């Protein structure tokens, strides 16, 4: 009788353990199967896991600035090499030093490798809508891909970063309070717009941005570009507005435009001294007004390359407005503005040396980006 009792009790314990184990597996399976959908900036309906814990940022390079502002590096398992090269030569490395250790081998020269991407086991890949190859490779590998549009706000960099922040929060499925950031950015947009509103065209300096520059390449942004937005929104005239997009131009066209100001982006390793000394073959800048008057500037590199939309974009707008209309913005202490901004939004105390590093971006910041 006693032996029978223990047999029955043992069987009941075993049955209970089995049922508990099965129930746990069923719950885990159910949890894994739980999904949600969002509509991205391409218009694609994307099915995501309920919880996104592993993220790869591919071709939408500036998005890393927003991601790190909101979440640090938590969940980042892969970044395009161009993001790392910018981070290591910017203030981002001081905000999140661990970013330099994030895997980059899944992307080479802007092309994704599906096999290497799968090794990272991402829940989602974030890409630029102008690089639909990323979408194709990720989705064919069975990985959800969410597109971020560069032109969703007609290249208004400040408004664009707002939409990216909102969509990123949607991707991550978490609430993030960006109201203070948006309030500051809106204040800067309004301030600049009001002050330049009544400037006559003849009082606006003729400006030009060099997007990429080498012995064989000279790309100048025309209309429908960030370059055109930056120049016109900050109280200047874009001399290249006869073109659309960012085409290759000839040095003869530049002679004709004869800009008062020239800015060089960090997508090129060229520096102002390269124009001053004509160090590149096939180009003679000596008779261009901006060169003769030493008004050639490398665009700053703060949390990211300031030419494109990123979380520093309000600062870019203010910096350019002060460059183009110094009398109207004489009350603006740009160094203090940058320090206050970084303290408030990145929790980073910048030194005077840090400020100078932001203004004097290095050649290495281009990261060997191919022209």
Average pLDDT, integer, range 188-198 = 97
Q: Using one digit for the tens of pLDDT, what is the confidence trace for 292-302?
A: 999 999 999 99
Identify whether 26 is part of a domain.
Answer: no
Residue 281 is predicted with a pLDDT of 73
Q: Which of 57-61, 266-270, 295-299, 323-327 has the lowest mean pLDDT?
A: 266-270
Residue 33 is predicted with a pLDDT of 59
Distance CA 286, CA 275 (A): 8
The answer on 328 and 243 residing in a single domain is yes
CATH of residue 231's domain is 3.40.50.1980
Average pLDDT, integer, range 85-91 = 91
Does residue 127 carry a pLDDT above 80? yes
Domain boundary (176, 204, 230) is at 176
Identify whether 285 is part of a domain.
Answer: yes
Q: Which two tokens stand for residue 179?
A: 């109201």
Identify whether 163 is part of a domain.
Answer: yes
Does residue 109 carry a pLDDT above 50? yes
Does residue 29 carry a pLDDT above 90? no
The answer on 208 and 154 residing in a single domain is no
Does residue 47 carry a pLDDT above 60? yes
Identify whether 368 is part of a domain.
Answer: no
- CA neighbor of 137 nearest in space, from 168, 110, 111: 111
The answer on 209 and 143 residing in a single domain is no
The answer on 295 and 191 residing in a single domain is yes
Distance CA 47, CA 223 (A): 35
Residue 285 is predicted with a pLDDT of 94
Distance CA 355, CA 336 (A): 9
> Are 217 and 251 in contact, with CB atoms under 8 Å apart?
no
Identify whether 20 is part of a domain.
Answer: no
Residue 366 is predicted with a pLDDT of 79
Question: Who has greater pLDDT, 367 or 327?
Answer: 327
Domain boundary (142, 176, 210) is at 176
Q: Which two tokens stand for residue 367?
A: 């990261």
Distance CA 98, CA 205 (A): 42
The answer on 194 and 141 residing in a single domain is no
% of the chain surpassing 70 pLDDT: 90
Question: How sure is the predictor about 367, in pLDDT bands with cuts at 50, 70 and 90?
Answer: low
Residue 317 phi, psi dihedral angles, 5° rounding: -60, -45
Does residue 9 carry a pLDDT above 80? no
Domain boundary (176, 198, 225) is at 176
> Are 209 and 219 in contact, with CB atoms under 8 Å apart?
no
The answer on 98 and 230 residing in a single domain is no
Domain containing residue 188: 180-362
Identify whether 327 is part of a domain.
Answer: yes
Identify whether 233 is part of a domain.
Answer: yes
The answer on 335 and 275 residing in a single domain is yes
Q: Which two tokens stand for residue 167?
A: 């969509």
The answer on 148 and 289 residing in a single domain is no
Q: Under 8 Å CB-to-CB from 312, ≥6 apart: which residues? A: 65, 302, 303, 304, 306, 341
Identify whether 50 is part of a domain.
Answer: yes
Does residue 7 carry a pLDDT above 50? no
Residue with structure tokens 């990211």?
304
Average pLDDT, integer, range 117-130 = 97
Look at the chain and report how many structural domains it folds into: 2
The answer on 197 and 139 residing in a single domain is no
Q: What is the pTM of this model?
A: 0.87
Q: Which two tokens stand for residue 142?
A: 């069975």
SS (H, E, C) the chain: CHHHHHHHHHHHHHHHHHHHHHHHHHHHHHHHHCEEEEECCCCCEEEEECCCCCEEECCCCCHHHHHHHHHCCCCEEEECHHHHHHHHCCCHHHHCHHHHHCECCCEECCEECHHHHHHCCCCEEEEECCCHHHHHHHHHCCCCEEEECCCCCCCCHHHHHHHHHHHHHHHHCCCCCCHHHHHHHHHHHHHHHHHHCCCCHHHCCEEEEECEECCCCEECCCECCHHHHHHHHCCCEECCCCCECCCECCHHHHHHHCCCEEEECCCCCCCHHHHHCCCCCCCCCCCCHHHHCCCEEECCECCCECCCCCCCHHHHHHHHHHHHCCCCCCCCCHHHHHHHHHHHHHCCCCCHHHHHHHHCCCHHHHCCCCC
Question: How sure is the predictor about 320, in pLDDT bands with cuts at 50, 70 and 90?
Answer: very high
The answer on 294 and 242 residing in a single domain is yes
The answer on 82 and 155 residing in a single domain is yes
Q: Which of 8-22, 43-57, 176-190 has the lowest mean pLDDT?
A: 8-22
- CA neighbor of 371 nearest in space, from 219, 245, 220: 219
Does residue 310 carry a pLDDT above 60? yes
Q: Using one digit for the tens of pLDDT, what is the confidence trace for 195-239?
A: 999 999 999 999 999 999 988 889 999 999 999 999 999 999 999
Average pLDDT, integer, range 138-163 = 96
Average pLDDT, integer, range 43-71 = 96
Q: Using one digit for the tens of pLDDT, what is the confidence trace for 240-291?
A: 999 999 999 999 999 999 999 999 999 998 999 999 999 887 789 999 999 9
Residue with structure tokens 């549009």?
149
The answer on 80 and 226 residing in a single domain is no
């Amino acid at each position: 009788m006693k032996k029978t009792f223990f047999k029955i009790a043992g069987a009941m314990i075993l049955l209970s353990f089995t049922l508990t184990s099965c129930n746990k597996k069923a719950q885990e399976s159910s949890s894994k199967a739980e999904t949600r959908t969002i509509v991205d900036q391409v218009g694609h309906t994307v099915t995501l896991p309920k919880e996104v814990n592993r993220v790869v940022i591919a071709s939408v390079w500036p998005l890393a600035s927003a991601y790190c502002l909101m979440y640090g590096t938590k969940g980042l398992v892969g970044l395009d090499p161009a993001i790392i090269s910018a981070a290591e030569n910017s203030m981002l490395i001081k905000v999140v030093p661990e970013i330099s250790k994030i895997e980059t081998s899944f992307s080479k020269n802007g092309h994704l490798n599906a096999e290497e991407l799968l090794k990272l086991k991402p829940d989602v890949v974030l890409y630029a809508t102008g690089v639909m190859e990323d979408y194709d490779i990720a989705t064919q590998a069975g990985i959800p891909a969410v597109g971020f549009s560069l032109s969703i706000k007609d290249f208004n960099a400040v408004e664009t970063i707002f939409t990216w922040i909102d969509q990123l929060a949607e991707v991550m499925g978490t609430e993030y309070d960006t109201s203070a950031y948006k309030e500051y950015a809106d204040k800067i947009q309004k301030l600049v717009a009001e002050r330049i509103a009544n400037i006559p065209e003849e009082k606006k300096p003729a400006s030009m941005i060099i997007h990429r520059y080498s012995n064989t390449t000279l790309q100048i942004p025309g209309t429908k570009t960030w370059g055109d937005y930056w120049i016109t929104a900050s109280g200047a005239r874009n001399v290249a507005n006869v073109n659309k997009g960012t085409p290759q131009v000839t040095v003869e066209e530049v002679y004709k435009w004869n800009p008062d100001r020239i800015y060089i982006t960090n997508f090129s390793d060229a520096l102002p001294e390269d124009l001053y000394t004509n160090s590149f073959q096939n180009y003679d800048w000596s008779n261009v007004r901006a060169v003769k008057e030493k008004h050639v500037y490398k665009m700053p590199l703060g949390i990211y390359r300031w030419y494109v939309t990123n979380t520093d974009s309000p600062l870019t707008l203010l910096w350019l407005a002060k460059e183009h209309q110094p009398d109207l913005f004489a009350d603006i202490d740009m160094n203090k503005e940058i320090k206050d901004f970084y303290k408030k939004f990145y929790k980073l105390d910048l030194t005077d040396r840090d400020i100078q590093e932001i203004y004097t971006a290095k050649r290495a910041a281009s990261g060997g980006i191919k022209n």
